Amino acid sequence: MTDTSRSILSRIGRTPLVALRHIVPANGSRILLKLESENPTGSMKDRMALAMVEAAEADGRLQPAGPVVEYTGGSTGVSLALVCAVKRHPLHIVTSDAFAREKLDHMRVLGARLTIIGSDGGRMTERLTRDMIEAARRMTQETGGYWTDQLNNTDQLAAYHAMAREIVDGLPERIDAFVQAVGTAACLRGVAEGLRSHDPNIRIVAVEPAESAVLSGGTSGGHKIDGVGAGFVVPLWHDAIADRIEQVSTAEASSMALRLAREEGLFAGTSTGANVTAALRLAESLPARSTIVTPMCDTGMKYLKTFAAALV
């Protein structure tokens, strides 16, 4: 029987795993995508938004009907907008014209108030990230709101520990590796902690934009892979998280996202394209018939206008 008393928030998590059938490694290894696009807003960020808000409600940092503030490239803002709409918290978002218009519109539809910071030619850069953070700090002072502060907030790790449990429960066979692009680093860190508690030998691979490969010791630069690559080493990152770091360019990520749509019927954003590109590279160094898991971070419907413009 369906429990009609539960809200849409009860549909966050418990997403399926699907194996790629055509874009596959030559050595017979499997790449499985965790379909985070099946969360209510079409993004894995629903998990962390709910975790951050509920932790703050539980310990009194966020009062009933109290305002919430965040800076975001889009998906976190959409997810917070959903959670705050259901829980009746006013939401103030700092974002930028560098990010997909669809995400900004989605936040507004869900009731968020947006402050838009101008970008350098639509690129994600360290300067833009720091400008957004400073604007969020000022907005928190002005509104007296609770700042979820995703780059520093460890409450979200619990959401990704849950994702790790779902991966283990969904795969009775051995898991050899997990691959994920780094934005706040919370997903990679939380899932890595969860998977390693199950099997310390699982390889963890971080992915970052080749144009801004700061985790690899490179220089900060601009790129157009939404939601990842802040342009500096983010606070939740530490070197022990990953066994390996893969650099993927915006062009490679975009090309793979289109391949996933056309060859697998999986319409995802560029961060997922980066994940799959890195997973294919990793497979070449693993034994034959290994199993690699990586998130389909969100739905490509969040970037429909961007993809359509690129095809003209």
* Cα–Cα distance, 126 to 96 (Å, whole number): 13
For tokens 């965790």, what's the residue? Answer: 34
How many CB atoms lie under 10 A from the CB of residue 236?
Answer: 22
**One fold for 8-38+160-311 and 45-147:** yes
Domain ranges of the chain: 8-38+160-311, 45-147
Q: Mention every residue, 6+ apart, whose C-beta is less than 8 A from residue 54.
A: none
* Helix, strand, or coil (residue 200): coil
Structure tokens at 261: 């749509």
Q: Which helix (H) or strand (E) holds 193?
A: helix 186-198
pLDDT tens string 77-94:
999 999 999 999 999 999
Query: Tell me: the pLDDT tens digits for 15-27?
Result: 999 999 999 999 9
Q: Where are the beta strands (DSSP E) in the chain?
A: 17-19, 30-35, 68-71, 91-96, 113-117, 146-147, 177-181, 203-209, 244-248, 291-296
From CA 231, how far away is CA 223, in angstroms rounded? 9
Task: Show the low-confidence residues of the chain (pLDDT under 50).
Answer: 1
User: For the structural domain made of 45-147, what CATH number should be given?
Assistant: 3.40.50.1100
pTM comes to 0.94
Both tokens of 137, joined, read: 């700090």
DSSP secondary-structure letter at 37? G
Q: What is the pLDDT of residue 210?
A: 98
Q: Report the alpha-carbon distance of residue 238 to residue 253 in Å, rounded.
A: 24
SS3 64: coil
Closest among 151, 181, 139 to 272, alpha carbons compared: 181
Contact 301, 308 (CB under 8 A): no
What CATH code would you report for 8-38+160-311?
Answer: 3.40.50.1100
What is the pLDDT, as a whole number, of residue 1? 47
